[in-house]
Structure 1
Amino acid sequence: MAQKERSTDGESALERRQYLKYATLGTATSGILAGCTGGNGNGNGNGNGNGDTEGEEEEHEELPEGVSEEEFESGPVPNEYMTAMSLGKEERNPDDLSSKSEVEFSEFDEAQEHSAYQAGSCCANCADFIADKNGDEFGACAEVDGYIDGADWCAIYEGLPEPEVPEGMSEDELATAEVPEEYRTAKSQAGEERNPDDLRSQEEVGLTESVEATADGTARPGQSCGNCADFIPDKNGDTWGACAVVEGYIAVEDWCSIYESISEDL
């Protein structure tokens, strides 16, 4: 089939989109994708013509609407990402970006075979990641061109530093402490207002670092507070955030069991 005749970069893009499809559409669609990329196909155009057409339709459905495969790999990204701030507070410069091939960009499963890979690391907990801003389930990167899935990884991955404990507070107090005034009734990045009288405890929701949760299989690759609908990003420069439904101080690289993708609410 046509997919088999593409370049290595094209095959990588297709594999990443297949990964997203498996994660979001379930077993039935997975079967269709498997038939399109493997099975009895031999890349020479032989076989059922209707099957080929269906496979191509499935492939195109996985790209954001109106985005070509070349744009998906190399940009440009939508305007809201062009000079956006990453999770690590780095502003994206569209004139100074690396290509995906230059940084050995790969999907999560492939990344684990890379010598530089650290267990649990993925774009969603990288300092350079820019979370989804328009609901198409993809983000961007402050260092790399093209559309970025939070479950992907590259060789220039940079972990998010753990915020310092605020002055006058112990680390043990962070989980239950009252957050600063600017967070108490703030809206999350998906627009949900925080109610300080109706919050769950961090222990109840199993709050932990996303790298650890991903490494042990508790969290799915691509999940972190940084791209959660309930997260309230840093508002006072101390690098901590808060949550619309969980009490205490929350770091952008954290994760909990009630994670909800921001893409679902944009």
Structure 2
Amino acid sequence: MNDQRSTRRRFVAGATAATAVALAGCAGGGDDDGGVPEAYRTATSIGGERRDPDGLSSKDAASYQDSPSGDRQCSNCRYYVEDRNDDGVGACTRVAGEIEPDAYCALYVRHDG
């Protein structure tokens, strides 16, 4: 009987650890910032927020879309980091990867500045 309980406990502990690791990946974190150029890695957004490559959401998690939603677009969001290398795209302090200025995501907060 003790052997069976021990096996169950090990299974539950293993399953709990595996779930925690999987959820950590969904929450952002890690150092996968979508391969942005170094100029964006810890850049400051138009709203004054500093980009933390370890605390970014994926584009999927943020519901990133390549087109604006009305007047809501990345170029007027407080988290947007403007183009720094003349390639027409920027970055975001909340979302990993290169960000199109006329894109949009669910994390949008209008920058009034």
> Residue 60 of structure 2 aligns with which residue?
203
- Residue 262 of structure 1 aligns to a residue whose secondary structure is coil
1:182 maps to a residue whose letter is: A
Matched, 1:183 2:32: no
Long gaps (5+) in structure 1: 1-175, 215-220
Matched with 1:172 is none
Q: Distance in 2 between matches of 1:209 and 1:181?
A: 23
The equivalent residue for 1:159 is none
Aligned partner of 2:88 in structure 1 is 239
Instruction: Provide TM-score, normalisation by structure 1.
Output: 0.30
TM-score by length of 2: 0.68
Taking the aligned partners of 1:246 and 1:230, their CA distance within structure 2 comes to: 9
Aligned positions of 1:9-28 closer than 5 A: none
Which consecutive segments of 4 or more residues in structure 1 shift more than 6 A?
Answer: none
The aligned length equals 81
Report the CA distance between 1:177 and its aligned residue: 2.5
Is 1:194–1:245's contact at 8 Å kept on the other side of the alignment?
Answer: yes
1:98 is matched with none
CA contact (8 A) 1:199 1:245 kept: yes
For the 8 Å contact 1:210–1:223, the answer to whether it is kept is: no
Extract unaligned runs of 5+ from structure 2. Answer: 1-32
Q: Deviations over 1:10-52 (max 9, x none)?
A: xxxxxxxxxxxxxxxxxxxxxxxxxxxxxxxxxxxxxxxxxxx
User: In percent, how many aligned pairs have the same letter?
Assistant: 37
Q: CA–CA distance in 2 between the matches of 1:252 and 1:208?
A: 11
- How many angstroms apart in 2 are the aligned matches of 1:241 and 1:253? 10
- Counterpart selection for 1:255 from 94, 104, 108: 104
Task: Output one character per residue of 1:80-105: Cα deviation in whole Å (capped at 9) or x when no partner.
Answer: xxxxxxxxxxxxxxxxxxxxxxxxxx
Residues 109-128 of structure 1 mapped to structure 2, 5 A cutoff: none
- Looking at both structures, which has the greater relative contact order when contacts are Cα pairs under 8 Å and sequence separation is at least 6? 2
CA distance in 1, matches of 2:81, 2:60: 19
Structure 2 counterpart of 1:225, from 74, 87, 108:
74
Alpha-carbon offset, residue 210 of structure 1: 2.9
Q: How much has 1:178 moved relative to structure 2?
A: 1.7
